[in-house]
Every structure is written in structure tokens, then in C-alpha cells.
Structure 1
């Protein structure tokens, strides 16, 4: 029903994926993040760079704050060609491209340098291209940080502290398996319902990166934040193939170059946001815990083993990433 309402809005406001006006085209880009978010700032860099490279012949109109719907709904708009581009979590894309699932494996990357060496190299580019058969062409990855646990009543210092706790996760099997493997009770729940769920004790906590922990105001009702950094799922800037296929060769080059440049700028915005978010958390009185990550990594090993058993073709990709 909601997607029908969005389509009606698009119809009556004249929004189409690529509106050609006089001597320029307008690229419509929708996403769910607030305008203060570092990823939105990265998208602004994409707009700035593309308009400059094309000398104004390609313009970008951004619709933030979920104006065009949820991540799933915006993806559907890309697929039918009503919107040109969007930004979503790689976890959402795993519903279309199985390889994106691999990026959610706990402790897959050794550090940030290793992560982006993989994502910006041949492996990452190959995964981006695989979405084209679903009309969702990946342009670049944005840093979305590392997800860590936060709880309202009990501190998480070791995996054993998770025993019996209901932890909200995204509706993604990898995330569910990971929390369960560590002893927690994974509880998929809509993000918009999470504040009240923690406040009312429906769940005992959740997991996310520092900027999201702050922007959601979850730090107001969570006493503990444990920087175990169990997964580093990136965001992905996507362009619909229905729009991409209408571009000239030169226009495609401009779009890709602008995306790559925005990804580098977004990394800086992200680091600044993490630093500021951790300060905000501490100033509010939340206890920030630095645990022994190896304990959490050891507990989650079976998640990787079982994943590779279920999807043998992914085993090679996991090995390539770890050996990169």
C-alpha cells in the first residue's frame, strides 16, 4: 500500500528517475538518512562533483529522511525506473545478491584499511556489478562503521554477558545467527520501534555504530555501550540500470568518478562523526566499554562455518577476502 502512495506522489510531483530539462538532466536520489548524517554529507559530495564534472548537464536532486519510503521501497522505485539512485545498507542488498551476505560476516575484516582494500579492489567492484541483473548497479561503498552492542541495564564485557538478553537486530539472517551464537536472543524489530522497545523492556538492547546510536537518541535510554565492533557492513550507493542505460559513455564516466570521489570524502565525514558521537555518549554518562574482541570473535566462528556449509560457493569469496 505504501509503495502505491509513493508512486502517486511521484506521479503528481513530476519526479522521474531522469528528467531532461532543456540542456540538462536531473538525477533523483532518495535515501532514508537525516541530513546531519555523514553518509548524507557524502551524497552531497556526489552531487557537487557530478554537477561540476558535467558542467551542469547532469544535476542531482536529493530526497533524504525517507521522503520516498524505506530502503526496500526505494530499491523498488529504482527497479521500475521511477528514481535514479539511492543509498542502502549492504545487508538489505543481500536479499538480491548473495555475495553481499559475506560482508556481514562477524570479524571478517582485520581493520578499516583491510576493509576498504577489499571493497575498493577487484573483489568489492565485482560484488557491486552483480546487482545489475536485478536492475541495481552498485557505484561505490560508503563507510557505515562497525556495529557494537548497547544495553539498558546490564554491561556487556564478555560474550557470556549476552546470555538471556534480547538484542534487537536487523531482519538479516547473518545478524540473527551472530547474536544467537554469542548467547543472546536475536530479536528482529523495525528500527523506528526500537526506542520504545528498549524503554519498555521489550528488548534489552541492540547493536549499531556510534553515529546511529546518537542520532537515534538511544544513548538516552542505554547505560552501556560495548565497542566489540562485531561487524562492519558498508552502505552502498546504487544507480538503477534503467537510468544508467540511458546515459552516454561520457556521462557514465562522470557518474562513476563522482561516486568514487564522494566515497573518499565520506570516510572523513564518518571518522569525524564517530569521534563526536563517542564524546556525546560519554558526556551523557553512558559507560563505554572496550572489551577483548577475540572472545567475541571466537564465539562467532560457527556462524562463518555454517554459512560456508550452506553456501559452498561463498567459501571461496570468504577465503579471498581474509587472504587479501
Structure 2
């Protein structure tokens, strides 16, 4: 072999090493929102080893108890897999809003997202059921529904649009918080601009109560409240506290109109690329994180209410009956529909 051939051979080997190294680092590097590598089941697995990296997006602060549950999931997955499956968590909407992240999960560009079930109704119409006000009798009824046949069916129905539900997280009850005056009856909402999630059912609910529903991304809500673009919003106690929205809204009225769970969604495309063993590890870690999250949520809810009081927020407890009567037309409109049948199934759960 002449010197020229040897030189080309050496150059080819060097180029191969560089390309191989580059492929490994790119797959393990956090990607920007919307990037194709932002959450694929990738990592060293694509370079010929067994390591898998799964990326999970969510919109909440790292101090939120739901974030702690996802960290617990990551630890359990690492333990079960012996370090071969890594869960990378991207909080604060780093990879996009809930809706944007759901779309990335659909495409397989992102492996997982923690989202409220409310924005999911744009993708899975059946999820609108969770936005119906005063649907659950109490917390026990709520969990019997989610962990029973209805909850399992709803978690599975997303497969038709490219997502699969792994588990539900507690998201408590949503109540109104406002800047200038409390909400003690539906009359107090008349003419007010209230921020809602991007959900038709949530908008219908606020409209039925007499207010003007205003969809705004959660990450933009603080400034919207501060600048008076909206008069108030609605959410659970931990989210009100960790978002620091209490700094610009001093009235929290516990009407507890909806109990909308969160859900961990997994990309169907990415799921099918995993081995049965990795799928089992992921599901087990998710289930264990759900148990962890429920306990953490109970503790955090009471701590948040106490902290809100100390921060100068007045906690109000309005009579819920006028609110129930005001939203009854939402149920009347469902008579004879598939969602109406689902309401009856839920109400019949003992």
C-alpha cells in the first residue's frame, strides 16, 4: 500500500471516530423546544450501547410537589434499569407549553409530558369530562373513578392520536383567586376577565358563571395579573403558591369547582421503540411516582394554604350551592351524548 493510500485510510478512520463521538453527544444533549432530538428514546443506545435517555417536559416550577414526583420517577427508573435508562426532566416550560409538548409527544420528538387533562381535550375529546364542574362527590369518589375502569379507558384512548397515559397525578381542586374582591357567588364573577386553561370546557364553565374566559399560558399569567390584563384566575393551592401569583392576587375563594387530574403521557412512537423490559420499568416507575405524588400533594396543599395566609392572602369559603345551580345547564347540554353517558357512569361509581 503506497503512502497516499495510507493517508486516506488514516483520514477515514479519524473522520469515523469524530462522527461516532458527535452522534453520542448530540443525543444526550438537552435540545431546544421543538427540536427533533428533544426527547426521543435516544442516548447511547443509538451508538450501540444499552443506554436510553427519555426526556420529560412540564410547565411547573421545580419547587412544585408534582416536580418532586417526577424526580422520584427518575430515581426509580435509574434503580430498576441499573442506570441504563435515564429520565431527563425539563420544568418551567423549557421545551414549550403543555399543548406544544403534547404535539411533540405525538410526533415522537419528545418522549414524555406531564400535562393537565384539560388541554388534552383538543386531542382526545373524552378528556373534556374532567372539566365538568362538581362532577365528583369527594376525594374518595375521584380516585375510585381514576383508578377504576373509566380512568383506565380514558388513559388508553389516547393511543389513537399517538399518546398513551401512564398514570394520573393529583391536581387537587381548582378555585378562583382575584386581585380586588373575593368571589363569594357567581354574581361576583359577572364581567370579570378570568384566565383559564386552553380548554373549551374550562371556557364554557367560566362563561356559564358570568365571567369572560381568557386563555393565557401559565408562564405568562403573573405579568397578566400584575398588569390588569385579567382580573383573576383559578387553580389549586400549591400552584397558586409556587407560581407566586399570590403577590398580585390577595383573595382566594375555595369554591372548588373542578377536580382536573394531571396525567403523564408517553409517545406511542417512542414506546414501541423500547424493549418490553424497558417498557415495564417505565410503567412501574410511573406507578410508584403516582403513589409518592398523592402523599406529597396532601401535605403540600395544607402547607400552601398556611403559607398563603401568612403572605397576606385572605382565604374565603363561599357556599357552593349557587355555583352548582349556575352550571347545571352544562350537564343539561350533555343529555343523550357520549359525554353524557360517561357522566352517568362516573356518577354511578360507588
Fold shared, TM-score > 0.5 on shorter chain: yes
Residue 318, structure 1, aligned to residue 340, structure 2: no
Distance 2:39 2:183 in 1: 47
Q: Secondary structure at the match of 2:133?
A: coil
* Other-structure match for 1:202: 229
- Does the CA contact (< 8 Å) of 2:56 and 2:90 recur in 1? yes
Distance 1:29 1:193 in 2: 21
Q: Deviations over 1:291-313 (max 9, x none)?
A: 1122211211111222x14x711
Larger radius of gyration: 2
Q: Secondary structure at the match of 1:245?
A: helix
Distance 2:124 2:181 in 1: 37
* Other-structure match for 1:90: 117
Q: Deviations over 1:228-274 (max 9, x none)?
A: 11011111101101111122223222221211111110011111221
* Other-structure match for 1:282: 309
Tell me the TM-score normalised to structure 2 length.
Answer: 0.85
* Other-structure match for 2:155: 128
Shift of 1:90: 0.3
* Other-structure match for 1:267: 294
Number of matched residues? 316
- Does the CA contact (< 8 Å) of 1:166 and 1:184 recur in 2? yes
Distance 1:251 1:103 in 2: 31
Distance 1:201 1:30 in 2: 29
Change beyond 3 A, Cα 1:83–1:186: closer
Q: Deviations over 1:268-295 (max 9, x none)?
A: 1111221111111101121101111222
Residue 179, structure 1, aligned to residue 206, structure 2: yes
* Other-structure match for 1:16: 40
Tell me, which stretches of 5 or more residues in structure 1 are unaligned? none
- Does the CA contact (< 8 Å) of 1:18 and 1:243 recur in 2? no
Q: Identify the match of residue 255 of structure 1 among 272, 282, 285.
A: 282
How is 1:226-245 mapped onto 2 (pairs within 5 angstroms)? Answer: 226-245=253-272
The CA RMSD over aligned residues, in Å, is 1.9
Q: Identify the match of residue 188 of structure 1 among 211, 215, 218.
A: 215
Tell me, which stretches of 5 or more residues in structure 2 are unaligned? 1-30
Shift of 1:23: 2.8
Distance 2:61 2:225 in 1: 22
Q: Identify the structure with bigger relative contact order (alpha carbons < 8 Å, sequence gap 6+).
A: 1
- Does the CA contact (< 8 Å) of 2:163 and 2:268 recur in 1? yes
Q: Deviations over 1:182-203 (max 9, x none)?
A: 2222222333333233233332
Change beyond 3 A, Cα 1:160–1:265: same
- Does the CA contact (< 8 Å) of 1:148 and 1:226 recur in 2? yes
Stretches of 4+ moved more than 4 A in 1?
none
Shift of 1:7: 4.0
Tell me the TM-score normalised to structure 1 length.
Answer: 0.91
Distance 2:84 2:221 in 1: 43
- Does the CA contact (< 8 Å) of 1:29 and 1:84 recur in 2? yes
